[in-house]
Chain A
Amino acid sequence: MTTGLDPIAATCPMPLAETERVLLGHGSGGQLMAELLADLTPRLGAPMLDDAALVTTGAPEVVMSTDGFVVTPRFFPGGDIGSLAVHGTVNDLAMMGAAPVALSLAYIIEEGLPLDELRRITTSVAEAARACGVRVVTGDTKVVGRGAADGLYVTTTGIGVRLPGAAPAASNGRPEDAVLLSGPIGLHGVTVLSTREGLGFESELASDSRPLHRLVAAMITAGGRGVHAMRDATRGGLASALNELAAASHTGVELEEPVIPVPAQVAAACDLLGLDPMHVANEGCLVAFVDPARADVVLAAMRERPEGAAATRIGTVVADHPGRVTMRTLVGSHRVVDMLVGEQLPRIC
């Protein structure tokens, strides 16, 4: 060894540099993978996650849901792929009237993803789960070669227990039910789109990504079995959610266009891009069919929660035209509100 060498400069920089990105070896099941998991799992507030977890609920009805997340960009105003993956599954459970109990978390990582990004996303998963009051109890990590995936895909599976007195199901809508919407539409889709490279317009919008299970609990406390059917208006937007509920319930739906809350910036962006706000995705917005006798108390209960502060009644369930959603337009005419055809905005969730 040469004398007078700076001991810091003498340390080999190579392994350090390599650990800054995810390598194929991180998914090999060997030592690198153990290092990666030892780095990530404490961020989830768990010591080490096992391949499976025992979950005791004590409830007679357990609800289960799973969802994959491929949103690009992975970070956007109002959230990221990690928080979105928690909210998405928590909300799917909530639409069945369930409070979330446990989540699994699976990553499919493209070789080369900056490790720091993975840490940030994992921390975001943990924070979102904590805010929802749900634990991440098991997980999985896979790494695929460059080009075999785009950065990171996240899958969450959740189990929850049905709230006492809750019985919502997509097929439970009945004629004369009130159609209640929890908040303004189009925020998530337009935010993600405006964040994408090369779009050339800027906005101050943020995604509405947030958990809805506490809002649902408030609705069920107020309305009980009068809350007939619920759906979060994610991909395909409010139009798809309503069409799905109408089809499952064998009822029609009549909406009033002037009362549907479309934020001015969403309306403007949709006009520029030729999109229909009714088809744009939301991640923190639900629509419910509620017994007309309970609609006012349910609406009041929704408005008391921050995520339902702008809740409003947008229409009525009807016996006519089962499976069809129609809208009384601004000028007082009628049109059918159909599901989105094909792709509007790819990879928004």
Chain B
Amino acid sequence: MKYLAEYRDPVLARRLVAEIRAAATRPWSIMEVCGGQTHTIVRQGIDELIPVRMVHGPGCPVCVTPLATIDRALAIAARPEVIFTSFGDMLRVPGSGADLLSAKARGADVRVVYSPLDAVRLAAAHPDRQVVFFAVGFETTAPANAMAVLCAAEERLDNFSVLVSHVLVPPAMTAIMESASGRGRDGGRSPTGVGNSIDAFLAAGHVCAVMGWTEYEPLALRYRVPIVVTGFEPLDLLEGILMAVRQLEEGRFEVENQYARAVRRTGNTFAQDAVRRVFRVGDQTWRGIGEIPASGLVLAPEFIDYDAALRFGVGGVSADENPDCIAGDILRGTGTPLDCAAYGTVCTPRRPLGAPMVSAEGTCAAFHNAGRTRQEMS
């Protein structure tokens, strides 16, 4: 793979840090939407080098998948005829009782796949079994998941189905901006001084590679907030932050594209077509945030036969969150892991209470992996 070293150049990185320091006259609050960006920022310690407050957004697909959906997955995986397939991160997310890894240890046939098409191939190879794929994620994973359903339909595989929990970014950004403390410098403050008054957004580059950025243009105008489509490498993030800071300093609020090597304004229309054929926009519950209208994808009526929740009759499963977990505050950007009494004590990557501690893209796990402790901050 090319284009890695180029975006990790230490000399250029330090130059960009200096430019951000010179450009920012105020401690602007910038939310990076995507968990992959959070991972790079925390791993590289970028937020500790610049006079800008980075607020970590809700963009970790593992983190926002509702508890009830995890419990449904566990109920399906426990069935003897089922091969339950998933991306690796989802296996360790705790449901209300267990996680998929411990279900596997108890005998469930749970397998990690790296592409939903691998799950389709499994279904073709095992006609006597029911193969279920856990279709989670943002707009980024939706095209591949849609392709899997289309392939299964074309091959008439009646032993393949998907458990869908798809979320969309723009409605979540709208919800954050509409929340009581969403705008204005005197918004809600957490004990570490991090409120969720957001001055600018770094939009998720990979989501925009699929969808383009036309959806973000009305958001920037309506909330007078700069939005910079940003990549995931250290230099991408530093440049995205610098572009956002310059807009804020100059009083502009536009959609700009830092991630030009991957993103066009209209996105990938082929991928969008696949998503539109298989899915419809629907209301969606976000773990820790609650229901956001028209913020998710559900299977279109003509593909409803591929809905695993219907096929296995687990649609009614519901669940309650652990009361000690503040995942909701963290996902909304109104708190950081350091505000949570459970962080690093009863909740660790080894024994996660809530989803943000599980995925490497989760804010709590990113903090914990980088060795950030509550003591150090106080």
List residues of A whose CB falls within 8 A of some B CB.
198-200, 258, 264-265, 267-268, 271-274, 324, 326, 329-338, 341-342
A342, B45: Cβ atoms closer than 8 Å: no
Q: Is B175 an interface residue (CB 8 A)?
A: no
Most chain B CB within 10 A, of A258, A271, A272, A330, is at A330
Chain B interface residue bracket vs A: 35 or more
Q: Is B377 an interface residue (CB 8 A)?
A: no
7 of the cross-chain contacts (CB-CB < 8 Å) are: A198-B121, A264-B1, A324-B371, A330-B44, A333-B48, A338-B369, A341-B350
Partner of A331 from the list B1, B17, B89, B360 (CB cut-off 8 Å) is B17
Q: Kindly list chain A residues whose C-beta atoms are within 8 Å of the C-beta of B14.
A: 331-332
A335, B350: Cβ atoms closer than 8 Å: no
B360, A329: Cβ atoms closer than 8 Å: no
B114, A199: Cβ atoms closer than 8 Å: yes
Given A200-B118, A274-B360, A342-B349, also A335-B43 (CB < 8 A):
yes
Partner of B234 from the list A326, A330, A341, A342 (CB cut-off 8 Å) is A330
User: 7 nearest interchain CB pairs?
Assistant: A336-B371, A333-B45, A268-B1, A331-B13, A341-B349, A335-B370, A329-B44
Contact with A along B99-128 (1 / 0, CB 8 A): 000000000000001110010010000000
A200, B115: Cβ atoms closer than 8 Å: yes
Given A200-B115, A342-B92, A342-B349, also A335-B45 (CB < 8 A):
yes
A268, B4: Cβ atoms closer than 8 Å: yes
Partner of B371 from the list A267, A274, A338 (CB cut-off 8 Å) is A338
B118, A198: Cβ atoms closer than 8 Å: yes
Q: Is B278 an interface residue (CB 8 A)?
A: no
B234, A331: Cβ atoms closer than 8 Å: yes
Q: Kindly list chain B residues whose C-beta atoms are within 8 Å of the C-beta of A265.
A: 1
Query: What is the minimal beta-carbon distance from B262 to any residue of chain A, in angstroms?
Result: 14
Q: Kindly list chain B residues whose C-beta atoms are within 8 Å of the C-beta of A336.
A: 369-372
A274, B17: Cβ atoms closer than 8 Å: no
List residues of B whose CB falls within 8 A of some A CB.
1, 4-5, 8-10, 13-14, 17, 42-46, 48-49, 88-89, 92, 113-115, 118, 121, 234, 238, 348-350, 360, 368-372
B352's nearest neighbour on chain A, judged by CB, is A341
Q: Kindly list chain B residues whose C-beta atoms are within 8 Å of the C-beta of A338.
A: 368-369, 371
A333, B350: Cβ atoms closer than 8 Å: no
Q: Kindly list chain A residues whose C-beta atoms are within 8 Å of the C-beta of B88.
A: 274
Secondary structure of the B contact surface, majority rule: helix
Query: What is the minimal beta-carbon distance from B372 to any residue of chain A, in angstroms?
Result: 8
B350, A330: Cβ atoms closer than 8 Å: no
Q: Kindly list chain B residues whose C-beta atoms are within 8 Å of the C-beta of A330.
A: 8-10, 13, 44, 234
A265's nearest neighbour on chain B, judged by CB, is B1
B47's nearest neighbour on chain A, judged by CB, is A333
Question: Complex formed: what's the CA distance from A271 to B121 in Å?
Answer: 25
Question: Complex formed: what's the CA distance from A338 to B4 in Å?
Answer: 23
Question: Complex formed: what's the CA distance from A145 to B298 in Å?
Answer: 47
Q: Kindly list chain A residues whose C-beta atoms are within 8 Å of the C-beta of B113.
A: 198
Question: Complex formed: what's the CA distance from A267 to B349 in Å?
Answer: 23
Q: Kindly list chain B residues whose C-beta atoms are within 8 Å of the C-beta of A268.
A: 1, 4
A326, B4: Cβ atoms closer than 8 Å: no
Q: Kindly list chain A residues whose C-beta atoms are within 8 Å of the C-beta of B118.
A: 198, 200
Question: Complex formed: what's the CA distance from A329 to B41 in Å?
Answer: 11
Given A198-B113, A268-B1, A274-B89, also A331-B350 (CB < 8 A):
no
Query: What is the minimal beta-carbon distance from B364 to any residue of chain A, in angstroms?
Result: 13
Q: Kindly list chain A residues whose C-beta atoms are within 8 Å of the C-beta of B1.
A: 264-265, 267-268, 271-272
Question: Complex formed: what's the CA distance from A199 to B121 in Å?
Answer: 13
Partner of A333 from the list B8, B44, B114, B349 (CB cut-off 8 Å) is B44
Question: Complex formed: what's the CA distance from A329 to B370 in Å?
Answer: 11
Given A271-B4, A274-B360, also A331-B92 (CB < 8 A):
no
A331, B238: Cβ atoms closer than 8 Å: yes
Partner of A342 from the list B8, B9, B350 (CB cut-off 8 Å) is B350
Query: What is the minimal beta-carbon distance from A341 to any residue of chain B, in angstroms?
Result: 4
B46, A335: Cβ atoms closer than 8 Å: no
Q: Kindly list chain A residues whose C-beta atoms are within 8 Å of the C-beta of B46.
A: 331, 333
Query: What is the minimal beta-carbon distance from A288 to any residue of chain B, in angstroms?
Result: 24
